[in-house]
Homo-oligomer: A and B are copies of this chain.
Amino acid sequence: MESRIADFIKERRKQLELTQPELAERAGVGLRFIRELEQGKQTVRLDKVSQVLYFFGCQLGVVEMENA
């Protein structure tokens, strides 16, 4: 189960040298949510994802379909 969003978050977190518990706390979401999010869970809540992305200075947006 891959996910661009998941990969983005995982990579950004590592760039900042944060553990999952640290990111969870600083982004203001639950630890389990971070775990599931990074593992590509699709049935997550949009506002929670936005909350994490906001911590990284990003946000969700509509983009073209990528062919791959």
Bound form: Cα–Cα A54–B63 in Å: 10
| Interface flags, A28-68, vs B, CB<8A=1, else 0 | 00000000000000111111011001100111111111100
Instruction: Please tell me if the beta carbons of B43 and A4 are within 8 angstroms of each other in the complex.
Output: no
- What number of copies of this chain does the assembly contain? 2
A interface residues, tally (CB under 8 Å)? 23
Is the beta-carbon distance between A60 and B62 smaller than 8 angstroms? yes
Q: Chain B nearest CB: distance from A62 CB in Å? A: 5
Looking at A50, A60, A62, A65, which has the most chain B CB atoms within 10 Å of its CB?
A62
CA distance A61 to B61 in the complex (A): 5
Does A5 lie at the interface of the complex (its beta carbon under 8 Å from any beta carbon of B)? yes
